[in-house]
Structure 1
Amino acid sequence: MQYKFTAADMDGTLLNDANEITKHTVENIRLAVSQGLIFSICTGRPIQGVERYLRQLGIQGPVITYNGAMILDSATGRILYRQELDRKDGRRILEIGLNYNTTMCIWSDNKLYGNQLNERIYKYSQAANVTPILMPSIDKLLSQGITKILWYDDTSKIQQIEKELLETAPFQSVTFCTSKPFYLEFFSSKVSKAAAIDRIGELYGFTQAETIAIGDGFNDLSMIRHAALGVAMTNAPEGVKECADYITTRTNNEDGVAEVLEKFVL
């Protein structure tokens, strides 16, 4: 087998618009794994937002969560790697978010905190399968460690905020990008989906030349560019497609991930 490892993003990639993995895609993943492929879900979500899909797939192995800030072993739940935000950066993100009066979804100690318990954070929490908690003091959150912060707002406001942050560069070691047009995510610059793939390779014994990465969002760009075969979904924005080695002919609603496995693995 030329490729030993495949990482697939969830939303807009592995999942259809009904937030499900289709039966055909499940069958193809199981078949590829039975033939020796290591298949890893690679997502910005926490592990709570992945667990039901792992049960559906019925496979074991590494899971990349929080855009690479945490890697877990799905069989045991053991944390294989974690990287939290620098305390100064975490404080700055929270303070700026409060000034913008945007909805902040804050992941700390695998719990979801919000500066506002409003319709947006409850909608976001449904996909993560957790109950949001009103944030305590900033100092309390920082003492626990912050894995990821996500701002959730109108698309036009997120675009404007991202533009302003790129111009002012207020952080020292933070990567921020949109995963959906209305989500702006912040995590340590030491973190990326590409770096997570390399760490798994060290643990599981495969090289970059043996990897496939499949995604549809700008937060997938690092792994799409890094993998030996970087795949963009046909439903991805043009800016993501431009960086891919292969673009699927099928969307996330038409088993695009299964298409990749059929063409390059099975």
Structure 2
Amino acid sequence: MIKLFVSDLDNTLFNHEKQVAPEDQKALKALMEAGLHIALASGRMDHELVKIGNLLQGRFHRISQNGAFIYTRDGECLQSVTFSGKLSRQIYREAKSFELPCFINLENEMFVAEKTDAVLAIKKRMKLSVQVLPEMDKELGKTLFPSKITCFGHPEKLRQLNRHIRQTFPSQVDSFISDRDCLDFMPPGISKGASLKKLADEFGFKPEEIVTIGDSFNDVSMLRLTPHSFAMQHAPAEVKQHATYVVSSVHEAAEQVLAHNRKHSESLTQT
């Protein structure tokens, strides 16, 4: 029996307009009505996940900032992790040397040093709320303690930056490609998968009682956790190989989950 349904947001539950399609809203409500717990797992800020819960009038577990923050559906905080001040400042300075748009993420705030044309384009495309802090370099480790540092740019340049950061700060930082042109740097050991496991342990959910769905490399850690994992049809092949099923939408996955649970209930009744 499936008890927990976990969905990524961008390019999974969110469409190209960063909205939840009506058929996906209906599917999540059907899962809730069937008694399942729902969790949202995203690289986005926590308040953005709260908005989805309010939209669907449901109580959702929330894994935000790629796992840095975990909240239960009753609002209990299970985890809150940030970089140390010195390390965040060092990573930011190294990333800025690659001349890529760099965003500093707190739990519910996002900062840039300046709003360049590139930053404005990213803000518009991703529907982000961004504040300008010209003295960013000085504030890191003093007033700013980020949970995530995000850089945008051409995939090859991001790969070069990733190699540089991982070599410069070995074992001190983890990283994920979370969109086609987006690279996230995280405190070590923080991922959607690790945080999902912590949430599951809190409620006693076994791997076979969990469904996960996502489309990008930051979803791989949670796709690996359960035999009931779904990758979106548009996901890279390297992501799909870690999923059991491939679907074109969240509602398609939800329908399979409801069918699975019905079949499970019928088998119990027959025995």
Q: Partner of 1:84 in structure 2? A: 82
1:200 is aligned to 2:199: yes
Deviations, residues 219-245 of structure 1 (Å, cap 9, x unaligned)? 111001112312111110000011111
Equivalent position SS for 2:17: coil
Partners in 2 of 1:137 and 1:162 — Cα distance? 21
Partner of 1:64, secondary structure, is: strand
- Provide, for residues 191-219 of structure 1, a one-character-per-residue CA deviation record: whole Å limited to 9, x for no partner: 11111111212333322231111010011
The answer on whether the counterparts of 2:43 and 2:66 sit within 8 Å (CA) in structure 1 is yes
Deviation, structure 1 residue 173: 2.2
Distance 1:200 1:102 in 2: 34
Q: Which runs of 5+ in 1 are unaligned?
A: 251-255
Alignment of 1:135-174 (within 5 A): 135-138=134-137, 140-143=139-142, 144-165=144-165, 168-174=167-173
Kindly state the Cα deviation for residue 125 of structure 1 after the two structures are TM-superposed: 4.2
Residues 108-187 of structure 1 correspond to what in structure 2 (within 5 A)?
A: 108=106, 110-125=108-123, 127=126, 129-138=128-137, 140-143=139-142, 144-165=144-165, 168-187=167-186
Residues in 1 aligned to 2:86 and 2:170: alpha-carbon distance in whole angstroms: 8
Aligned residue type for 1:108: L
| Contiguous gaps of at least 5 residues in structure 2 | 260-271
Q: What amino acid maps onto 2:255 in structure 1?
A: E
Question: Deviation string for 1:90-128 (max 9, x for gaps)?
Answer: 122112012212211001353211133223333444546
**Counterpart Cα distance in 1 of 2:73 and 2:135:** 30
- Of the structure 1 ranges 2-11 and 194-203, higher mean CA displacement relative to structure 2 is found in 194-203
Q: Cα distance, 1:164 vs. partner?
A: 4.1
Contact 1:194–1:227, Cα closer than 8 Å, also in 2: no
Question: Once the two structures are superposed, what CA deviation does each residue of 1:33-86 show, in whole Å capped at 9, x if it has no partner?
Answer: 11111111110000233343222222102111000001134564x533111123
Q: Check the 8 A contact 1:112/1:132 in 2, yes or no.
A: yes
The alignment's C-alpha RMSD in Å is 2.2
Q: Which amino acid aligns with 1:147?
A: S
CA contact (8 A) 1:86 1:173 kept: no
Corresponding residue SS for 2:42:
coil
| Partner of residue 253, structure 1 | none
TM-score (norm 1): 0.87
Q: Which residue of 2 aligns with 1:260?
A: 253
Deviates more, 1:81-90 or 1:16-25: 81-90
| Matched letter for residue 16 of structure 1 | N
Secondary structure of 2:221's counterpart equals helix
Between the aligned partners of 2:15 and 2:213, the Cα distance in structure 1 is 14
Q: 1:40 to 1:120 in 2, by over 3 A?
A: farther
Q: Is 1:61 the counterpart of 2:60 in the alignment?
A: yes
Stretch moving more, 45-54 or 181-190:
45-54
How far apart in 2 are the matches of 1:260 and 1:245? 11
The count of corresponding residues between Structure 1 and Structure 2 is 257
TM-score, normalization by structure 2:
0.86
Larger Rg: 2
* Residue of structure 2 equivalent to 1:229: 228
